[in-house]
């Protein structure tokens, strides 16, 4: 019962556990808890790492029937559940005897060894749920776990097709599989767009053909497609998506001094990229550390979308994106070219008619991303032109996302809103009118984006680890400080309304207070702390003033430039 046996031939092991079952015992059979047995077997980290990871490259060399790990995102969980029978009667071709075979966790029998017999006597129906999962979209290459599996098989070209409509982002690594869940009671936490790691038995069929029609009671279209199936034994939810090296570093972040130093290093690193601009570095750090930590009355608390304006060109925005890609595990770059926006819907939808052309099940869209992905929207890619119906819808979907962190999925006769938790950054030339962000900060005019010539992996890993840890950290304000803050707010409001009313300036409102509190939280977290102190609060206010000043200067400059342009060409 070695580990290797469990990995290479788990079906065999299961059969050994079940033992021999005779025809009479079939209906009174008590099933042992196989997932628990496997869980216990693979209880320590080393053993778990021995299980091969399933992805596009490793699939080429994995044999059907191996135990695998599949870290993935749930793309579609609206597939009909399947009925199967626990037991089947088969005839062993070698020994020519009949026996009852336990048929859970596998769908196929090897034709050379076994022959199928009429199993009506032993039919015991159970049902299982199907979930379609794909590789994590936007997963940056540094974050992926390297496969440790020693494989003796040579690589074969498997008969495997990708259903392009079911992947949000086009990528070489796109890989999808159907996961069969046997434990239906716990299947409620398998929500859409969440990341799980499934441990189960891989199964695929070499010569599978696709059935076309719906009208007959053929197999479900998706299950008859040549994609691999995984019979899931158990699963874990994955919170962060970094690789193990980073995880190690995270564990080292306990010492106060280490935290402070790391924080300074991070700001230095980021500001070096922006020609020494500390302010931008701070705000970018805030954005990367933010997440939605509660939803009150459909108001997402904790959202912090950032608009970096004064971006001169698309090349600059590409540079900025490359920078971000290196430090967060999941990110995606959304360009807004006309052709793209006008043709494909950004949010997922479902057709009533399933066909190969129209898409099967839930058709994905670029916004079907997991929580915590950094979405960089590049407005500089928008050119002049006409936006048609789909384009309008896409812009409104994006607007909804920015305002409420919700994405509307279209199900033909009705729509459903799914909550999202993406870190939003907009890169634009002027202040973005299309995508109202919480915080706008302009780049300094002479900024070049310096890419890191000699990438120091160690430093990068520290940064990545720090951001990961602070993202899921808790946060508290103690009551006294909270009272002070609210007193301050009320006083400020009163002062504003009493003083000479400048109608252009808005009176401090509810939204402003929320924003300030959020910013304070992010500031605290970015320092690796979990408690707000007076010092941090004051710092936040200072930073905000600096940003506001810079923004005002920028706006003034722009207006001046416009004017000077006008005077230069009086004929225009």
Residue 437 CA to residue 168 CA, distance in Å, equals 24
What Å distances lie between residue 382 and 385, 394, 396, CA to CA? 9, 13, 15
Residue 501 as a binder of another protein (CB under 8 A): the answer is: no
Q: Is there binding between residue 451 and another protein (CB under 8 A)? A: no
Q: Locate tokens 């005779």: which residue?
A: 22
Residues 6+ away with beta carbon under 8 Å from 476: 530, 531, 532
Pairing of strands 374-378, 331-335: parallel
Minimal distance, residue 82 CB to another protein, in Å:
6
Q: For the CB of residue 492, give the shortest distance to another protein in the complex, in Å.
A: 22
Alpha helices in 328-450 (DSSP H): 338-343, 389-404
Q: Kindly write out the interface string for residues 207-236 of this chain, putting x where it contacts another protein by CB under 8 A and - elsewhere.
A: xxx----xxxxxxx----------------
CB 517 within 8 A of CB 505: no
Q: Which stretch binds another protein (CB under 8 A): 186-194, 249-257, 300-308, 534-542?
A: 186-194
Q: Which of residues 64-83 bind another protein (CB under 8 A)?
A: 76-78, 80-83
3-state secondary structure of 410: strand
Mark out the alpha helices in 370-509 (DSSP H runs).
Answer: 389-404, 457-471, 479-498
List residues bridging with 349 in a β-sheet: 363, 410
Task: Restricting to residues 331-360, name those near another protein by CB under 8 A.
Answer: 350, 352-353, 355, 357-358
Tell me the angle at which helices 314-327 and 278-289 cross, rounded to the nearest 10 degrees.
60
Q: How far is the CB of 502 from another protein (least distance, A)?
A: 17
Comparison of 124 and 236: residue with beta carbon closer to another protein: 124
Per CB under 8 A, 413 contacts another protein: yes
Q: Which is nearer to another protein, 258 or 395 (CB)?
A: 395
Q: Does 434 bind another protein (CB under 8 A)?
A: no
Q: How far is the CB of 207 from another protein (least distance, A)?
A: 6
CA neighbor of 360 nearest in space, from 25, 80, 60: 80
For residue 198, what are the β-bridge partners?
Answer: 70, 235
Quick one: 87 or 321, whose CB is closer to another protein? 87
Listed residue (161, 176, 167, 177) closest to 137, CA to CA: 167
Angle subtended by helix axes 534-568 and 510-526, to nearest 10: 110
43 vs 389, which CB is nearer to another protein? 389
Distances (CA, A) of 3 to 19, 40, 61, 62: 20, 11, 19, 17
Q: Which stretch binds another protein (CB under 8 A): 256-264, 413-421, 451-459, 474-482?
A: 413-421
110 or 454, CB closer to another protein?
Answer: 110
Q: Which is nearer to another protein, 2 or 217 (CB)?
A: 217
Piece of 31-39, 125-133, 422-430, 549-557 that binds another protein (CB under 8 A): 125-133
Structure letter (DSSP) for residue 216: S
With CB under 8 A as the contact rule, the residue among 392, 455, 472, 482 that binds another protein is 392
Could you tell me how many residues of this chain bind another protein (CB under 8 A)? 64
160 binds another protein (CB under 8 A): no
- Residue 108 sits in the site that holds another protein (CB under 8 A): yes
123 binds another protein (CB under 8 A): yes
Which lies closer to another protein via its Cβ, residue 76 or residue 379? 76
Of 50, 91, 126, 338, the one binding another protein by CB under 8 A: 126
Between the alpha carbon of residue 326 and those of residues 195, 330, 454, 462, the distances in Å are 21, 10, 13, 12
Q: Is 294 in the site for another protein (CB under 8 A)?
A: no
Binding region for another protein (CB under 8 A): 27-28, 76-78, 80-85, 88, 103, 107-111, 116, 118-120, 123-127, 188, 191-194, 205-209, 214-220, 350, 352-353, 355, 357-358, 362, 389, 392-393, 396, 408-409, 411-416, 418
């Amino acid at each position: 019962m070695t580990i290797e046996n469990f990995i290479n031939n788990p079906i065999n092991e299961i059969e050994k556990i079940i033992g021999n079952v005779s025809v009479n015992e079939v209906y009174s059979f008590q099933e042992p808890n196989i997932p628990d047995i496997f869980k216990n077997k693979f209880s320590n980290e080393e053993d778990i790492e021995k299980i091969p990871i399933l992805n596009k490259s490793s699939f080429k060399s994995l044999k059907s029937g191996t135990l695998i790990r599949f870290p993935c995102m749930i793309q579609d969980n609206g597939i009909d559940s399947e009925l199967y029978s626990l037991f089947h009667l088969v005839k062993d071709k070698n020994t020519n005897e009949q026996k009852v075979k336990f048929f859970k966790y596998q769908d196929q029998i090897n034709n050379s060894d076994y022959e199928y017999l009429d199993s009506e006597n032993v039919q015991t129906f159970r049902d299982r749920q199907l979930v379609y999962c794909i590789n994590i979209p936007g997963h940056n290459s540094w974050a992926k776990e390297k496969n440790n599996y020693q494989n003796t098989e040579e690589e074969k070209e498997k008969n495997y097709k990708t259903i392009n409509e079911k992947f949000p982002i086009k990528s070489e690594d796109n890989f999808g599989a159907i996961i069969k869940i046997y434990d239906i009671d716990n299947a409620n936490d398998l929500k859409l767009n969440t990341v799980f790691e499934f441990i189960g038995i891989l199964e695929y069929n070499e010569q599978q053909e696709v059935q076309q029609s719906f009208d007959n009671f053929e197999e479900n279209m998706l299950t008859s497609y040549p994609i691999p199936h995984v019979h899931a034994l158990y699963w874990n939810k994955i919170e962060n998506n970094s690789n193990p090296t980073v995880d190690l570093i995270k564990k080292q972040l306990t010492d106060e001094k280490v935290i402070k130093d790391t924080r300074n290093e991070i700001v230095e690193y980021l500001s070096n990229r922006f020609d020494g601009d500390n302010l931008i570095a701070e705000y970018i750090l805030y954005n990367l550390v933010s997440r939605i930590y509660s939803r009150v009355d459909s108001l997402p608390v904790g959202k912090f979308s950032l608009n970096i304006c004064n971006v001169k060109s698309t090349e600059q925005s590409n540079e900025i994106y490359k920078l971000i890609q290196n430090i967060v595990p999941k990110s995606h770059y959304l360009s807004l070219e006309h052709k793209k926006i006008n043709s494909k819907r950004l949010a997922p939808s479902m057709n009533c008619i399933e066909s190969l052309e129209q898409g099967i099940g839930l058709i994905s869209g670029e916004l079907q991303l997991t929580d915590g992905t950094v979405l960089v929207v590049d407005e500089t890619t928008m050119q002049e032109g006409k936006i048609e119906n789909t384009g309008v819808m896409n812009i409104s979907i994006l607007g909804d996302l920015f305002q409420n962190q919700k994405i509307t999925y279209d199900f033909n006769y009705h729509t459903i809103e799914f909550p999202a938790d993406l870190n939003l950054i907009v890169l634009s030339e002027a202040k973005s009118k299309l995508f109202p962000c919480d915080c706008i900060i302009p780049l300094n005019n002479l900024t070049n984006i310096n890419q890191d010539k000699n990438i120091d992996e160690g430093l990068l890993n520290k940064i990545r680890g720090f951001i990961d840890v602070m993202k899921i950290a808790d946060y508290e304000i103690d009551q006294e400080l909270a009272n002070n803050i609210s007193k301050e707010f009320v006083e400020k409001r009163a002062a504003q309304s009493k003083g000479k009313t400048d109608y252009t300036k808005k009176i401090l409102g509810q939204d402003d207070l929320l924003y300030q509190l959020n910013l304070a939280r992010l500031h605290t977290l970015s320092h690796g702390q979990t408690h707000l102190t007076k010092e941090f609060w004051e710092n936040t206010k200072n930073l905000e003033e600096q940003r506001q000043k810079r923004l005002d200067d920028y706006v003034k400059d722009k207006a001046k430039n416009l004017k000077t342009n006008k005077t230069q060409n009086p004929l225009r």
